[in-house]
Amino acid sequence: MLPSRVLTFCVVEMQKLRHDRTELVTRSIQPILWLVIFGQTFSRIHAIPTGSQPYLDYMAPGIIAQSGMFIAIFYGIQIIWERDAGILAKLLVTPTPRIALVAGKSFAATVRALAQVLVVLVVAAMLGVHLRYNPLHLLGVVLVVTLGTAFFSCLSMTIAGLVRSRDRLMGIGQAITMPLFFASNALYPLALMPTWLRVLSNINPLSYEVGALRDLLVGSPSNLLRDFAVLLLAAGAMMYAASRLLDRLAR
């Protein structure tokens, strides 16, 4: 039942995107700006030491992870909107297990995140980033982004289940997004961070997502097995937490 439900929500997401692609275009602007302005500028000033690897090559996988997180972290707002509009109640009254609803919603966020991956990869290639196009690696990228987006969207839905208000969630979302991004290895190596930030980075799933993407896309070695295991565990735990709080949100 779970795969069929997840597929249903993915189909719905695709249908929505087919009717209105504006969101895809507007959401693409930010990662493009990061790559084109921040990436190119920092490449020229050599402010961040990345060894023999060009800074744009180092940064591109981080921007992929970041754009997926930025989409997912506000997904709780959508579920609160659906609660307010009565849509969530109707979905909860269907014979769909709560975990399937949460998984479906998070995979729906993944559909949007993967569209961003495509945009970033195209722009990165145009900027001369040395990407690896091995189909197996690209499949790995899809899997990593799926797990990362699932974690962050379920984190957002979990917070939604706790705070139950759009305004509060908006505030919390804004408060945690940048710290999650900066306390990761998306923009600079762990070695450059002060110890306390390195500790935070080590417990931040975004770091493992970036590490895996860097390995798969530009060949920077990482412990892929560990990265996948951390992402799988984090996404699974957060999915469970969000599904436990879904009924509370609807009441």
Partner 1 sequence: MSVTAIAVDCRGLTHRFGDQVAVDDLDLRVEHGQIVGLLGPNGAGKTTTIRVLNTLLPVQQGHVEVFGHDVAHASITVRRLIGYVPQQLSIEAALTGRENVGLFARLFDVPRRQRSARVDEVLAAMDLSESADRLAGTYSGGMIRRLELAQALVNRPALLILDEPTVGLDPVARDGVWDRVRHMRDEYGMSVLLTTHYMQEADELCDRIVLLHRGRLRAEGQPQQLKSVLGPEASLDDVFRHYTGDSLSQSTESEGGIASVRTIRRTARRVG
210 vs 242, which CB is nearer to partner 1? 242
Nearer Cβ to partner 1 (212/250): 250
- Two tokens at 67? 């754009």
Of 100 and 155, the one with the shorter C-beta distance to partner 1 is 100
Residue 2 in the binding site for partner 1 (CB under 8 A): no
Q: Nearer Cβ to partner 1, position 59 or 250?
A: 250
Is-contact 119 32, C-beta < 8 A?
yes
Per CB under 8 A, 26 contacts partner 1: no
Under a CB-based contact definition with an 8 Å cutoff, are residues 210 and 184 in contact? Answer: yes
**5 scored as a contact of partner 1 (CB under 8 A):** yes
Nearer to partner 1 by C-beta: 21 or 132? 21
**Calpha distance 11→32 (Å, rounded):** 27
**Interacting span for partner 1 (CB under 8 A) from 13-21, 38-46, 146-154, 194-202:** 13-21
The angle at the Cα of 32, spanning 199 to 180, to the nearest 5 degrees, equals 20
Distance CA 103, CA 125 (A): 32
Positions in 65-84 near partner 1 (CB under 8 A): 84
- Residue 2 C-beta: closest distance to partner 1, Å: 13
CB 218 within 8 A of CB 130: yes
Q: Cα 170 to chain center, whole Å?
A: 17
CB-wise, 94 or 195, nearer to partner 1? Answer: 94
- How many Å apart are CA 22 and CA 28, to the nearest integer? 10
Q: Is 11 in the site for partner 1 (CB under 8 A)?
A: yes
Please report whether residue 167 would count as binding partner 1 according to CB under 8 A. no
Spatial contact of 151 and 238, defined as CB atoms under 8 Å apart: yes
Q: Which is nearer to partner 1, 97 or 128 (CB)?
A: 97
Is residue 86 at the binding interface for partner 1, with CB under 8 A as the rule? yes
Q: Does 8 bind partner 1 (CB under 8 A)?
A: yes
For the record, the structure tokens of 197 come out as 């930030």
- 209 and 125 Cβ atoms separated by less than 8 Å: no
- For partner 1, the binding residues in 90-119 under the rule CB under 8 A are 90-97
Q: List CB contacts of 93: < 8 A, sequence separation 6 or more.
A: none
State in angstroms the smallest separation of the CB of 155 from partner 1.
Answer: 24
Q: Which residue has the tokens 């735990």?
A: 237
Which residues contribute to the site for partner 1 (CB under 8 A)?
4-5, 8, 11-12, 15-16, 19-20, 84-87, 89-97, 247, 250-251
